[in-house]
Structure 1
Amino acid sequence: MSHTALIPSHRKPRQSASKTALRAGVAGGVLSTIAVAGAAGPAQAEPVTQTIEMPTITAGLSTTVAASAEATQQVALDLETQANQDAAAATAAKAAKKAKAEAVRKAEAKKKAEAAAKAEAKAKAEAAERASRASRSTERTTLSAPSGSSSSSGSSVSTASAPASSSASGSAASVVSFVQMQVGDAYVSGGTGPNSWDCSGLVQAAFRTVGVDLPRVSQSQSTAGTQVGLGNLQPGDILYWGGAGSAYHVGVYVGGGQFVGAQNSSTGVVQKSLDYDPPSGAVRVL
């Protein structure tokens, strides 16, 4: 026995012819396919389109974005509303300031007008007072005692007749002239003119012509001025019959010992001597 008889051979086993032919056929087919593909590849190549998939926004993120947009819109609306309110407030403040300035201007104008009216009225009153004082200083009528006297308050009152002429001036002259112009008018209870009078209505209207507003009734007119004695009468003095404050009749002394009064429905407005109906007292307003 050879010394190499037990050593296995390293030679590969021979393959059968069938397997070899099969393998050669497969290899040839593959190589043919590759060769065909290689030859046709450059001419038949088509562009490769690659599709990239974008991430999809989840429902939660969409809701958040919508809420943010809505909040931004609300802020814009709020800012616009605030701007409109600020503009309206500025306009209202401007209008209020203008109205206040106008009101102040009107108030000042009214105040100046009232002051001017008061000054004019005061000037007229002073002029009337000066005229009245001048009249009083130039005329002093003294009445002598008549054969009879009348006294409703316990003291005798002297009356006398005198010339019918009057030397009144100023406001007193205006009062005297007014009542004398009404002589012959009718007497009507409650009458205030222009063609019918009662006693106090005639006196009130006469003094109103010189800016003196007397009370309406005889009782109040008998205390409307300064009480004077019947021996010191001046034209324009108010004569009253009855007590001071409770007089039932009034008239106007026109000078010369005479008076004018709306006596009654039978006589109407007359000018008579004090002897005709001696008064109880007199008050001086002018």
Structure 2
Amino acid sequence: MSHTAHIPSHRKPRRSASKLALRAGVAGGVLSTIAVAGAAGPANAEPVTETIEMPTLGSLGTDLSSAVAASAEASQQEALGQSLEAQETAALQKAAKEAKKAKAEADRKAEAERAEKARQEAEAKAERERAEAEARAEAQARASRDSARTQLTSTSASDSSGSSGSSASDSGSSASDSGSSSSASDSTQAPSGTAAAIVAFARAQVGDAYVTGGTGPNSWDCSGLVQAAYANAGIDLPRISYQQSSMGSSVSLSNLQPGDILYWGSRSGSYHVAIYVGGGKYVGAQNSSTGVVERSLDWDPPSGAVRLL
């Protein structure tokens, strides 16, 4: 225990600020009342008492609290308004950014669609031009072959007319009999064995599409069909038409047999091949317009033929 604990304190207790203010207000009111009474007149006059109300701490505290509350509410409203404005600004910026992004994506898709459409149109145009070029080349080749045959026929007729009458007559009769015999034999000839397999395969593809470089099973070019038909019979052929027409031995168009390879152009430089199927007909992958067809030799007479069987 402290040695100073038994000494009493001489300090006066502190008075609170509220009590001091209250006493000051009461004293002020009393003094004001006395001063007014002294100035009213003589001693025998009735005393006039006037009380001046002084503001109390209670009303001051209430007013102050109201002011503080109002200020706080105003600050809160202002802060809320600023927050809403900031949110609106952020939302507008986000919407603008998303709209810009969506527009860029739409522009990109539109450009891609335009490019794809242009590509398709270019491919279609190229295909049309290629088909037209093939048709023109085929027509020109056919016209050239027809002209050459006409010239050859005229030359042969002229040579025949220059010979003796009896010899020409005998020779003509012999040639006519031989041609009739060959024609009759060809029309009744039926393929057999390897030739039958080649012809059957070729005829089975009639109606398929023509595609440059096609090797089946549903689309072919001319040499691709011939190669596949011979492969079906166990015979390997080169892939290119002029290589195919260079194989085997040459045969006359008047002495054809089923399975013979027909060619157009020169033997070592042919540009088209097909398979003779008998009866004066052939099967070939002609072009993109006709596909694989079976046609008479008269429709497009070949330049020659070769036999591998």
Pairwise TM-score range, normalised by the shorter structure: 0.3 to 0.5
Which one scores higher on RCO, CA 8 angstroms, separation ≥ 6? 1
Q: Which has the higher helix share?
A: 2
User: Under a length normalisation based on structure 1, what TM-score does the superposition of the two structures give?
Assistant: 0.44
Could you say which structure has the larger radius of gyration? 1
Tell me the TM-score normalized by structure 2: 0.41
